[in-house]
Chain A
Amino acid sequence: SQTIHQWPATLVQPVGSPLSLECTVEGTSNPNLYWYRQAAGRGLQLLFYSVGIGQISSEVPQNLSASRPQDRQFILSSKKLLLSDSGFYLCAWTDSFNQPQHFGDGTRLSIL
């Protein structure tokens, strides 16, 4: 069966520090991968998605970037974090378009 892993589960970082969140999927090949951010009590904001290695689509201009160095690995990064980057970050995958997305357990990011 397929599984998705995100880490770390929680992270506290100072303003201006770099960021790297990792997401990996097991049990499938060539998945579509997604990064979302969720503010407290709010819906999901799509940040990036990828349909293949090295292919990244960005949804909103921001302080973050994404990379897909391997088929089942998706990384969310920032060179310098802002206070507004705080939130709950979720990674998701799907086998193909129109099929349900499956989410990881998320990373709670707090910026001090």
Chain B
Amino acid sequence: GQQLNQSPQSMFIQEGEDVSMNCTSSSIFNTWLWYKQEPGEGPVLLIALYKAGELTSNGRLTAQFGITRKDSFLNISASIPSDVGIYFCAGTTSGTYKYIFGTGTRLKVLA
């Protein structure tokens, strides 16, 4: 099925570093969502974005809804070991009940 292009696929960073990841789509989205998944658990919602250009923060996390409505970005500042996990973006378009998910960015933090 259709998927978003999410990059990078994986990241190894030092504790304290900032992290950036993004998602791009060939379609315009009405909503962008960012989730974190830890091993053996379901994805947990981090940030939801509803308008083009919207910038929303959740603690050390900041996400943006791209102006073109075809991309979104997630930044994590001053990473800590508990940031380890897989980060997924997801989006919705009008006229369908389906949510399209990215392929995930696997983040590992080295203490």
Residues of A within 8 A of B (CB): 6, 32, 34, 41-46, 49, 51, 57, 59-60, 90, 92, 97-106, 108
13 contacts between A and B (CB under 8 A): A6-B42, A43-B88, A44-B88, A45-B1, A46-B99, A49-B98, A59-B98, A90-B43, A99-B48, A101-B45, A105-B41, A105-B42, A106-B40
Closest residue of chain B to A91 (Cβ to Cβ) is: B42
- Quote the shortest CB–CB distance from B95 to chain A (angstroms): 9
Assess whether A100 is in contact with B40, with CB atoms less than 8 Å apart: no
6 tightest A-B contacts by CB? A103-B42, A44-B101, A43-B103, A100-B48, A98-B31, A106-B42
Which of A34, A43, A51, A99 has the most chain B CB atoms closer than 10 A to its own CB? A43
> How far, in whole Å, are A16 and B93 apart by their CA atoms in the complex?
38
> What is B's interface to A at a CB cutoff of 8 Å?
1, 3, 30-31, 33, 35, 40-45, 48, 50, 88, 90, 92, 97-99, 101-104, 106
Nearest-CB residue, chain A, relative to B29: A98
> Considering only CB atoms, which chain A residue lies closest to B41 in the complex?
A105
A44 to B4 CA separation, bound complex (whole angstroms) = 11
Residues of A within 8 A of B99 (CB): 34, 46, 101
Which residue of chain A has its CB nearest to the CB of B33?
Answer: A100
CB distance from A54 to the nearest CB of B (A): 16
CB neighbours (8 Å) of B90 from chain A are 101
Across-interface contacts of A105 in B (CB, < 8 A): 41-42
Is the Cβ of A108 less than 8 Å from the Cβ of B88?
Answer: no
Q: Is the CB of B98 within 8 A of A46?
A: yes
A97 near B1 (CB under 8 angstroms)?
Answer: no
Bound state CA distance, A101 and B46, in angstroms? 11
